[in-house]
A and B are shown apart, each in its own frame.
Chain A
Amino acid sequence: MRTLQALLERVRANRREFGAAAALAAAVTLLGFVIPAVRDRMARAPLAAGQFLLLVLFVAAFWVVPSDFTRRMRKNPLSVVGFSLIVLFVAIAVLAPILAPPPPTSRDPYLIPQEGFGAIPRPPRSGHPFGTTERQYDLYYGIVWGTRTALRVSIIVIAIAAVIGVVLGGLAGYYGGRIDEVIMRVTDVFLAFPGLVLAVTVVAVLGRSLDNIMIAIAIVHWPTYARLLRGDILTVRGRDYVEAARAAGAGDLRIILRHVIPNAIYPFMVLSSLDMGLIVIIAAALSFLGLGAEVGYADWGMLINLSRDWIVGSPGNPFAYWYVLIFPGAAIFLFVLGWNLLGDAFRDILDPRLRGAS
């Protein structure tokens, strides 16, 4: 509640900037109503349109209302690029039902519609702006809905890994002693595997599916979070304000939640931002190996897997099937690039010691 009040206060203090943001949102809406094709699609998916407007308002408010964060970010053009890329991908994900409406007969919008069952990929043409893969899955549809898959996978994985990491890392760092020793040795065991290798094993044992990919990557990733939080807590634990809170009679849980974690959270944000990209790469790699989403599910790694047999074109035309690799490859590249740039920017902003170090 208090944060909401603070936000409203901010908005009131920057009425003109916020007005501009609202005007932008209104303009986008109006544009949608003026073009009939867009209007029809929006009418079919009003929820997505509403979410998109909220997103525009939120991003505009974040960007326009001055804060320490945005001021530092504006100084670094690369971080602005990263931020824009992420906003773009979130917008694509939100607008998926409007950008690529699922056919009326489809039972699950994540299943890419097929046009016939022809074995050979066909180039971009009207109705299929990015072309179709083997067995005629529409690449454009797959990439648009694959954005949702990518965001969902990385957010869920980070949520699981962060929760396990916070709990175990918190216990280890705060209580120290034997608990710390045991938990750290457990992380040692998990870190004894290269990430992808362990993930491959877990998926092979649990069975191939997107859910199991998420579980596998979370299993691989939690030790990093646990170690990070433990290290941060060790440095924060001895600070005066923690001592003061304890002297005032605060319990362990309250100290951890109210004093220790908020002060150890910044490196966490940097790590999770860089991880968003990394997780999408690992998930795509597993899908690429054929361990992930079923063929035809909107997932970038699956699309690239479909391109594997079409790397070498026909005689005299070596790049005949370029579109089956380039479009999904570009989607992954831009998505991961966005998160990497944003993560680097977070690191520069939140940890002044590292500024310009890498």
Chain B
Amino acid sequence: MATYIARRLMLLPLVAFGVTILIFALLQFLHPAIRAGAFITNPNQLKAIDAIIKKYGLDQPVYVQYWTWLREVFHGNLGWSQSVRLPVLDAIIAFFPTTLELTLYAFVPIMIVGVWLGTAAAVHRDKVVDHLSRVFSISFRSLPSFVWGLLILMVFYGRFNWFPPGRLSLEADLFVRSAQFTKYTGLMTADALLNGQLWIFFDALRHLAGPALTLTMVSVALLVRVTRSSMLEALSQDYVRTARAKGLAPAVVNTRHARKNALIPVITLSSLTIVGLLNGVVIIETIFNYPGIGRWGAFAAQQLDIPGVTGFTMFIAALTVLGNLAADIMYAYFDPRIRLQ
């Protein structure tokens, strides 16, 4: 176990190094004046762009530039994001909790629905539930998230006015910005409860429902499929047959014997699901005008705010690498067969 994790950990800096090389190589396509943006920490410096090009050696050989750039990145100086008029690091800190909240509100229903539907489909193989879950999974997979999002907006905002876009309604937003409201975590629903403001909690929940529902719909299919096939495999094992032969109730066999083992790949998949959600937020936050990190990334790309885009991308890549690592470790932890190899 320890050597397995150690080996995975040793790969981590290698991948991180590769990620910085890739981003840096992409940046080489740009004019030095645009690249100099990465070294700017406040808007007044924009006037002295030539001096900055000189100062940071953007006219020097590539490997020197890479070293300079890497040093700045390691010191947390990711540049100035012109699209939101904040330093990139501050923008990440400002936007990430919002996205984290959305991800959590999508993650819980995904896990519950995915495991429940996948188990039901496997237990009732080739019955109505199974066919229905197949139809749902393939149609959710075939309709792009932005069409789903717009449809949900059309029906639940346009027709019923249940799930408005944005993060808070105007009066709630004013209250949150006032001195009466303390921000403890950055997660709006948690903060509202900590402040004892139930109406803000429900207001935030209403705004979360649309994007969370969309994220759930586009991401749940994979989990259903994996749970189902893993459950089918577990159901065909000898110990399940033995338990059945002993006369245990089918429900007990299904949940206690089969599902416990079937959930190993599902647990692993859960951390990859979070990574998938981070991919989805770019589109979905843009549609629902939800002020998270994904909307910032998309907005920065539209505004050609290169430091913003690269900072966003590196941050997401770091999360993805950590998510993959967590998946590997959990896999080894829950399945002894892996770590003994």
**A residues with CB within 8 A of B:** 185-186, 188-190, 192-198, 200-206, 277, 281, 284-285, 288-291, 304, 307-308, 311-313, 318-319, 322, 325, 329, 332-333, 336-337, 340-341, 344, 357-358
Q: Are B225 and A201 in contact (CB under 8 A)?
A: no
Count chain B residues whose beta carbon lies closer than 8 angstroms to a beta carbon of A.
57
The reply on B76 being an interface residue by CB < 8 A is no
Q: Are B301 and A291 in contact (CB under 8 A)?
A: yes
Q: Are B229 and A357 in contact (CB under 8 A)?
A: yes
Q: Contacts A194-B279, A357-B229 given: A189-B15 contact, CB under 8 Å?
A: yes
The interface residues of chain B lying within 8 Å CB-to-CB of A332 are: 143-144, 147
The reply on B14 being an interface residue by CB < 8 A is yes
Q: Are A188 and B11 in contact (CB under 8 A)?
A: yes
The interface residues of chain A lying within 8 Å CB-to-CB of B129 are: none
CA distance A307 to B153 in the complex (A): 12
The reply on B78 being an interface residue by CB < 8 A is no
Picked from A190, A194, A277, the residue with its CB within 8 Å of the CB of B275 is A194
The reply on B255 being an interface residue by CB < 8 A is no
Q: Are A285 and B297 in contact (CB under 8 A)?
A: no
Q: Contacts A201-B313, A205-B27 given: A188-B15 contact, CB under 8 Å?
A: yes
CA distance A291 to B313 in the complex (A): 16
Picked from A186, A192, A284, the residue with its CB within 8 Å of the CB of B321 is A192
CA distance A313 to B161 in the complex (A): 12
Picked from A193, A198, A318, the residue with its CB within 8 Å of the CB of B158 is A318
Interface of A is mostly: helix
Q: Are B300 and A204 in contact (CB under 8 A)?
A: yes
Picked from B138, B279, B316, the residue with its CB within 8 Å of the CB of A341 is B138
> How many Å from the CB of A205 to the closest CB on chain B?
5
> How many Å from the CB of B162 to the closest CB on chain A?
12
> How many Å from the CB of A213 to the closest CB on chain B?
12
Binds A, one of B46-54, B95-103, B185-193, B302-310: B302-310
Binds A, one of B18-26, B57-65, B109-117: B18-26
Residue of B nearest to A205 (CB): B26
Residue of A nearest to B302 (CB): A290
Residue of A nearest to B22 (CB): A189
CA distance A186 to B21 in the complex (A): 11
Q: List 23 A-B contacts (CB under 8 A).
A: A186-B18, A188-B11, A189-B19, A189-B22, A192-B321, A194-B320, A200-B297, A200-B298, A200-B313, A201-B23, A201-B301, A205-B30, A285-B146, A288-B283, A289-B286, A291-B302, A313-B158, A329-B143, A333-B143, A337-B138, A340-B142, A358-B225, A358-B228
